[in-house]
Structure 1
Amino acid sequence: MIEIFTFEELAQLGEVFERKKWSGDINEFDGDVFNKTVDLLSELDQRQRKLVLSFIENYYRLTDYADHCRAIARQITSKFGRRDKILFLPVSDAEPKVKSGHSVCYEIQRFLDDRLFLEVDTLDHYDRLNHQKVGSKLVIVDDFVGSGSQMRKMLRTIINSFPEMVQNISIYVICMQRIAYNRVRKLCPNVYACEIRDRAITDAFAIGSMTAQEALEVYQTIESRLSMRVWYKLGYGRAEALVSMKRTPNNTLPIFWNDRQKGGTKWPAPFLRIQS
């Protein structure tokens, strides 16, 4: 039986939204984020609500990348000089298509004075790398890295094809899960992230006074109500992220972005992501 969502809990949620400056925000599909979050909490019992409120207090949401891209541009300017050819490369899948890294690439270059370098160029996909580019400083960029699987696959492909490029690769990301940061650095030690985030439950990052085991058990009673592919449980790659960028990554705990509930009814996901 669902227990009544109390006035004290509603006030706590309102304070969190005020502090995070989320009041009045809508998601990408015109859903009011506060009202959707209230609807989400109203589906839960007291113990579940306590955990989800802790998640929300530790949730990271960023839709304006300007300040972070400016910071990355400063890092690049301080690291490279007039003798360097800078080659930007957004993180992408094996199949060429526009990804979030492409917009980050453009945004960083807004704040970069290309006269400070010998050359600045951009590739839209890593399959366009060739031996003529080997001497360039390869700058790989993205907005968010959750499990690191996509980036590591891309890095291995580049390193296998151009082993001499390893020492010239640098990675700049707005936000990374720490588990991905540690994995990626095993292939490329030159990784810079504006924000590094721990896993919500396993790393006891966002579970309040609960133990990790208690929090996992409580969380799974919520997640079990959703209809989804098994690899999205606890977020893709079990990344346990609490992150929404311009789009909510599938590495985020799916109770926040998946609106498919078992039985065909809608789940009130405040940071909705349409997943095929």
Structure 2
Amino acid sequence: MLVNNKVLADKFIIELIEIFNKHNWRIEKSNGGEYSLFDMFCKRLEELDNDSDRELILELTNNYLLDEYEKYMIDVFRMFLDKNKELIKKIKTIHMFPVQDKNYPGKTKSGNLMCYLFQATFMRRFEEFHDKRVRIVETFEAIEKYKEEIECLILIDDYVGSGDTLLGCINLIEEKGIKKEIIKSITLVVQKSGKEAIEKYGVDLYSAIIRNKAITDNYNKEDAEKKIQQMEGISKKLKVKNKSLYLGYKKSEGLVTMIKTPNNTFPFYWYEGKRDGKFMMAPFPRRNNVGVDE
């Protein structure tokens, strides 16, 4: 194991084991160049300068959400169908579209995997997959091709944070001739602020899990202000270059990892860089050194 007991006291290792057990996360030993999640987490805790910061991180990690795709997909689609029974009865074809970044259309994102999973056997429990045509369109060009047939377009993603990417996608779809009144969105997990932004725009959003801000919404004002300053200090110590991400993108204060870790999550969990010339591993990294070249 990578744990340095001179830095990380036993009480923190014990508490981390309890958290892993609570979340049903596997505790394994690192093997050569393969690092276990538990060891990477311990290493990241070691990199903090004081026990007060370690205590805050462990306190927050109790509420960390790691993906459970099958369960969430079934839950959220059931919710969508319950709210749209009459609409679904009327239409012959259900159209789905993976949420895409309007600035990088065509780039593979988690929405593409979500659309693929909608073809899985565990989704066949719904009768709508038996007697309806479910057409997955994956490009904006395809939306233009089928726009005369689209009576309801469901935008699919695994996570919505601030709502910026989803709103941008909706705007581009509107430019292709689809009215927002027939657009709906399904996501597994959403930040409360993101859901409010999408629904304020006039698009229904369905989600299995709604997440609030991890600190601001869970502590009294005085305690929250102290913990916010403490978390900003942690991000600074980890050499997070972009100060606007100290509390996650748009100060989302997220505690979420899906297929990837969104930048809405506190950088402690995903940021990797160098400190004193040494590479710092994160438990749920999101560096772009692994990806598809165009």
SS class of match (2:134): strand
CA distance in 2, matches of 1:76, 1:183: 19
> Offset of 1:20 from its aligned partner?
0.7
**Percent of aligned positions with the same letter in both sequences?**
25
Change (3 A) 1:73 1:221: closer
Decide whether the 8 Å contact of 1:87 with 1:122 is kept in 2: yes
Verify: 1:11 aligned to 2:29, yes or no: no
Verify: 1:232 aligned to 2:236, yes or no: no
Gaps of 5+ in 1: none
> Offset of 1:215 from its aligned partner?
0.5
CA distance in 2, matches of 1:216, 1:173: 28
**Counterpart mapping for 1:1-276 below 5 A:** 5-24=8-27, 30-44=34-48, 45-62=50-67, 64-78=68-82, 79-80=84-85, 81-84=88-91, 85-94=93-102, 95-110=105-120, 111-112=123-124, 113-117=128-132, 119-130=133-144, 132-134=146-148, 135-162=150-177, 165-204=179-218, 211-225=223-237, 226-275=239-288
Decide whether the 8 Å contact of 1:61 with 1:245 is kept in 2: yes
Decide whether the 8 Å contact of 1:59 with 1:243 is kept in 2: yes
State the AA in 1 paired with 2:14.
Answer: A
CA distance in 2, matches of 1:22, 1:210: 33
> Offset of 1:193 from its aligned partner?
0.6
User: Which has the higher relative contact order, 1 or 2, with Cα contacts under 8 A spaced 6 or more apart?
Assistant: 1
- The number of equivalent residue pairs is 268
Write the deviation string for residues 98-152 of structure 1: whole angstroms up to 9, x where unpaired: 11101111212331443333x3211112343227425421011100111111101
> Offset of 1:73 from its aligned partner?
3.3
Deviates more, 1:12-21 or 1:259-268: 259-268
Length-normalised TM-score, structure 2 = 0.81
Gaps of 5+ in 2: 1-5, 290-294
CA distance in 2, matches of 1:6, 1:209: 30
Change (3 A) 1:147 1:9: same
> Offset of 1:4 from its aligned partner?
5.0
CA distance in 2, matches of 1:121, 1:182: 28
SS class of match (1:191): strand
Length-normalised TM-score, structure 1 = 0.86
